[in-house]
Structure 1
Amino acid sequence: MRPAVEVCLLMAGLCAAFVSPAAAGMKLDFKTKTYPISGRTGTELVEAMNREGPKRGFMAHAIAQTSYTVDWELKVTEDGGICRLADATGTLNLTYTFPSVASDLSPSLNRRWKRFYAGVRAHEREHGRMAKAMVRATEKSIIGLTRENDRFCIKTRHAAKRRIRDVYNQYEARQVAFDKREHSDGGRVERLVEALMGKH
């Protein structure tokens, strides 16, 4: 039987701002948040995460969550009607949300919890790694973008936004595929939850 909760809820967004000047290279602003749970058994801990975890939709809750937005600073230059995107900096605003046990655990349950928590962190960190790769790939895709007959750089700005969106969509598909593998029947998420509950 599959667990009623999920490890990851991925929420992502993009915001493109055209400003000058921009510093080269990705910037990272990340936070880690926790929410308290308590229980005397693995099953009770899972049930607490299902009640208290970050929202996944209107009703369901996730065990943990990786959420991010990307703010873009793009420097464009114009010379004789030729517009060039000279520099790009993506600021990745990355937030992890994890459960934190507020009750005393027995030695055996504490060992199971530590293994479970390590697996959950590894899952979320992989989402974060892919988000970082997305920002770097986007920077590479748009720096040097050039459009002729674009005195006010309007075409260049629109082209940059399209490329940002295209790369985002590619990496979002990778994020979804990763979750699909992790949450499949017999997948790592199910094994983590069942091990915490003492089922194997």
Structure 2
Amino acid sequence: MRLPVLVCLVAIGALCAPAASAASRVLVQTRNYDIAGNSGAALIEAMDSKGPKHGFTTRAIAQTAYTVNWDFDTGQDNGFCRLRRANGTLNLFYTYPRVASATTPALRKRWNRFFAGVRAHEETHGRIARQMMQATEKSITGLRLADDPFCYKTRSEAQRRIRDVFAEYEARQNAFDASQHRDGGHVEHLIAALMGKP
């Protein structure tokens, strides 16, 4: 599960500059919430009551949240408005359950398999978000428009491209979740294995 936010910041430049450059960085934070239980079913119940919120009334097992910030400036160059710099920041926030109670060796083994699957699922969301940043860089690098003396059109076009890439990759995130959470899907199998069901 993931929660995205997109923000564009604009700085206006007045001097000529070299060709536009785009760069992004990724900042990652991991948070945990503690659960307790002496069976797989008890751990599932604990995650259902203590996990990160998913909507108004439900909770998720784990969550990938992210914010995307783009900071760019523009300037005139030989009659063109050029996007001179575009720096993106992807802030990734992972939230995972952590077993805080003693467990039997058999339950611990099932938990470790379950948690590895949960982590892989959330890290795939993170990987799709990183791909989004790379695609955004590619879409705005070298952007320049003629007849734009105050660079309004250029900044608007950069923001449009950023929104379009964001929407495309959000669709990929949703498709991934749909395949993982469908009946009989990967998440259902993880939960069943934690509960010791065949």
TM normalised by structure 1 equals 0.92
Q: Which moved more, 1:75-84 or 1:15-24?
A: 15-24
Check conservation: 1:24, 1:88, Cα contact below 8 A: yes
Tell me the CA shift for residue 23 of structure 1.
7.3
Q: Distance in 1 between matches of 2:176 and 2:37?
A: 30
Match of 1:93 in 2: 91
Match of 1:132 in 2: 130
Q: Secondary structure at the match of 1:16?
A: strand
Tell me the CA shift for residue 24 of structure 1.
4.3
Amino acid at match of 1:69: T
Find the partner of 2:119 among 88, 112, 121.
Answer: 121
Match of 1:14 in 2: 6
Q: Distance in 1 between matches of 2:148 and 2:76?
A: 8
Check conservation: 2:22, 2:141, Cα contact below 8 A: no
Amino acid at match of 2:10: F
Q: Secondary structure at the match of 1:29?
A: strand
Q: Secondary structure at the match of 1:18?
A: strand
Q: Which has the higher strand share?
A: 2
Check conservation: 1:138, 1:163, Cα contact below 8 A: yes
Q: Distance in 1 between matches of 2:12 and 2:148?
A: 18
Across the two proteins, how many residue pairs are aligned to each other? 192
Runs of 4+ in 1 over 4 A off after TM superposition: 20-24
Unaligned runs of 5+ in 1: 1-8
Tell me the CA shift for residue 143 of structure 1.
1.3
Kindly provide the CA deviation profile for residues 59-97 of structure 1, in whole angstroms up to 9, marking residues without a partner as x.
Answer: 100000000011112132213541011232210010000
Please report the RMSD computed on the Cα atoms of aligned residues, expressed in angstroms: 1.5
Check conservation: 1:20, 1:73, Cα contact below 8 A: no
Match of 1:188 in 2: 186
Q: Which moved more, 1:107-116 or 1:144-153?
A: 144-153
Match of 2:17 in 1: none
User: Closer, same or farther in 2 for the Cα pair 1:16/1:198, shift >3 Å?
Assistant: same
Kindly provide the CA deviation profile for residues 14-42 of structure 1, in whole angstroms up to 9, marking residues without a partner as x.
Answer: 11112378974211111000001000000
Q: Distance in 1 between matches of 2:117 and 2:130?
A: 20
Check conservation: 1:69, 1:93, Cα contact below 8 A: yes
Find the partner of 2:104 among 89, 102, 106.
Answer: 106
